[in-house]
Structure 1
């Protein structure tokens, strides 16, 4: 999980998204909508990612063979584009009758936790009330999450029905927050739903929501397609569980093997180019919807910055020329195909006449392909193989 936000007022504009998903079966889609008010902060985005992954450094990732299937069922959940592409969240219902929460979907973690009435200080959030759910089952085991930046949350486990886009997952283990730090209290989201593998749940042996969507037959294909919108194009987006949305990408999907041995969606990147200039080759990366920026290793980031004439701020961020007319896109090669981060996505934040780059570094031995990459490329995640399929998003 990663939070990259500061306190702000949230204005939500709900938009309806057309879906032409994989044929047949049950599908769950979560659309994303736009928030127009948030002011981005590149330094905060880097520090949050550093805190997220430095707490558990992993070995460089190596791809493993696999393929993706698209037969079977799915369902859709819309998500809000918060803070001009800072993070994306959708409505999730918990309990009977359902209580609705704003939940951040994060492929870089695997826990489902939510603010609850057990937390007296969580008053800025919608809080899950177990006394109002007839399907609530107490567990009592403790959980705790803490991050290198000092943010933390803790509480107890429980079980209840969790509904995603109309599909009701029965007996889903949830983590009820009894305490949370001030940084979480100022975030607009009420909780987080991890889409990583179950080997990195905070309490061992818990099935993730995707595990249960598959095992309970709510989706008949073990995949989910992710489309992240851009604020510059109206924002929004969707998570489509059990299939993928052919209207959200162009060209054909390319299969890329995934190394899930560390619980993450690890991929091997053959190269990164700026135009015809190769700036990095043969490195490992993580596909993470919960990281805002595109983060390279320290040495790789400096090489990318040099090509664009960007200035290192010494804190993981770079100042970049606001006039990008002479720039060329970043080109990633995965699975033998190329995927772009276009020129307009190279600027993340503008403060007066100063622009901050959407790429940086966080002292990690691998790259994080965060929302800067993912909002330009549609990704189908296959949990069973495991593998991903990637194609250029309609945003490009």
Structure 2
């Protein structure tokens, strides 16, 4: 069976190489309501729902069984998902392309009925794939709300038209909170191999090994236009000039094997208020908002006159939005500013305008933290290239 699958993939890959060698491969990204927005629509308070889980996260932040927990907030505000297929014939899944992790997991058809979240999503059924190879090794990712557990399998995964033979996880235990509210099925990690659980080779590394990409890079574009279809695009092999103006500015990753860079300060208006002695900034496609140390974000919110909501998050008076200061991140000798248009989200609730601030407080303890996480609202302003070959990240002003 393994030999049959390898032969099948070789044929497909050879065909792809002959027609698209050194080409850009694209995955359309759809923008959907985040888990937090879904909870609001249901009248459920995220703060109440996650208060105990947040405390549990603080208590459990030491690695367990070689697996460090991923903060729950990573996917609370995620809005962008792309489609991949697994197996033959193809079984389709919406996944978050997450630079903060390096494994691929999707819900399994073998998921227990006790885990309701499995049954609100597409599930992989290995028995229906002629290229499925059983592995069976146990798998676990620790989240603040509990573990995503399951077992490993191997099959053909197609991303952006490129097929690879990939080991991935079938999730058989999926915490209801928060995944029952998620619009995505699973997660495809775009991180480095050294952060992959169980030493599994990541999907993007498999793709690079086929030498079908123009360059060993991928770039992420998120449209700022809510009416734009699709909501964004993941481009493998390079960048698309139609998505930016000017040139890219590059800076090396601060730690080999992680999509993070050294930041030299955060300025609000004309005043540098945070990270004066330098800090770490993680460039995270798995988060829609910007997070920083809770104390720093609290000061920032007071500076712009924001009000904290009982259910979590911050709002400002919509009449004052145009007078809000810019927030500037100092990265690699360049300044990357977000205006009020970039960090204020206009929403309507019960017929009234609500202006939400897209900053969140998140304390990550040493040695990993404290950190700032620059998510989708930063990437929407600055088209971002992730360069694996040169271990660097590039930013250009998005159009």
- Name the residue aligned to 2:338: 341
Q: Deviation digits for residues 330-382 of structure 1, max 9, x if unmatched?
A: 12221112222221222236444553311121122111111221121110001
2:324 counterpart SS class:
coil
Instruction: Tell me the C-alpha RMSD between the 2 structures.
Output: 3.2
Q: Retained in 2: the 8 A contact 1:339–1:391?
A: no
CA distance in 2, matches of 1:84, 1:144: 20
Greater shift, 211-220 or 311-320, is seen at: 311-320
Partner of 2:317: 321
Kept in 2: contact 1:95–1:136 (CA 8 A) = yes
Distance 2:222 2:57 in 1: 22
Cα distance in 1, alignment partners of residues 218 and 139 from structure 2: 27
Task: Indicate if the aligned counterparts of 1:50 and 1:362 stay in contact, CA closer than 8 A.
Answer: no
**1:253 and 2:258 correspond:** no
Moved more, 154-163 or 339-348: 339-348
Give the alignment of 1:355-374 within 5 angstroms: 355-364=355-364, 365-374=370-379
Which of 266, 282, 288 is the equivalent residue of 2:284? Answer: 288
Matched, 1:387 2:392: yes
In 1, Cα distance between equivalents of 2:89 and 2:291:
41
Indicate whether 1:275 and 2:272 are aligned. no
Q: Which residue of 1 aligns with 2:87?
A: 95
User: Can you give the 5+ residue segments of structure 2 that lack an aligned partner in the other structure?
Assistant: 1-19, 64-74, 365-369
Change (3 A) 1:106 1:89: same
Map of 2:189 onto structure 1: 194
**Paired residues of 1:349 and 1:357 also in contact (CA < 8 A):** no
Q: Is the 8 A contact 1:316 1:360 kept in 2?
A: no
Residue 145 of structure 1 corresponds to: 141
Q: Confirm whether residue 106 of structure 1 aligns to residue 103 of structure 2.
A: no
Matched, 1:206 2:211: no
Cα contact 1:316–1:362 (8 A) shared by 2: no
Cα deviations across residues 141-172 of structure 1 (Å, max 9, x unaligned)?
A: 10012311x24321110111111111111x21
| Shift in Å, 1:300 | 2.3
Q: What is the Cα deviation at residue 234 of structure 1?
A: 2.7
- Equivalences, count: 344
Bigger mean CA offset, 25-34 vs 242-251? 25-34
Residues 92 and 273 of structure 1: is their aligned pair in 2 closer, same or farther, counting only changes over 3 Å? Answer: same
* TM-score when normalising by structure 2: 0.77
Distance 1:125 1:292 in 2: 21
Which of 109, 118, 129 is the matching residue for 1:133? 129
Instruction: State whether residues 90 and 105 of structure 1, in contact with CA within 8 Å, keep that contact through their aligned partners in structure 2.
Output: yes
* 3-state SS in 2 of match to 1:375: helix
In structure 2, the residue matched to 1:223 is: 217
Cα distance, 1:147–1:133 mapped onto 2, change above 3 Å: same
TM-score (normalised: structure 1): 0.78
Could you say which structure has the larger radius of gyration? 2
Task: Determine if contact 2:25/2:236 at 8 Å carries over to the other structure.
Answer: yes
Cα distance in 1 for partners of 2:279, 2:152 equals: 38
The question of whether the paired residues in 1 share the 8 Å contact of 2:25 and 2:160 is answered with: yes
Of residues 25, 35, 58, the one that matches 1:28 is 25
Q: Deviations over 1:183-227 (max 9, x none)?
A: 323322111101111222222x21001111111223242100100
Q: Does 1 or 2 have the higher relative contact order (CA < 8 Å, sep 6+)?
A: 1
Contact 1:108 1:195 in 2 (8 A): yes
Q: Partners of 1:348 and 1:151 in 2: how far apart?
A: 30
Q: Specify the alignment match of 2:169 in structure 1.
A: 175
Residues 201 and 173 of structure 1: is their aligned pair in 2 closer, same or farther, counting only changes over 3 Å?
A: same
- Do residues 304 (structure 1) and 278 (structure 2) align? no
Structure 1 residue 312 displacement after superposition: 4.4
Post-superposition CA distance 1:26-62 (Å, at most 9, x none): 221112234479836798499699799966589xxxx
**Greater percentage in helix:** 2
Deviation at 1:88, TM superposition (A): 0.7
Asked whether the equivalents of residues 32 and 183 of structure 2 are also in contact (C-alpha less than 8 Å), the reply is no
Task: Return 5+ residue gaps in structure 1 as ranges.
Answer: 1-22, 59-82
Q: Does structure 2 retain, via aligned residues, the 8 Å contact 1:301–1:360?
A: yes
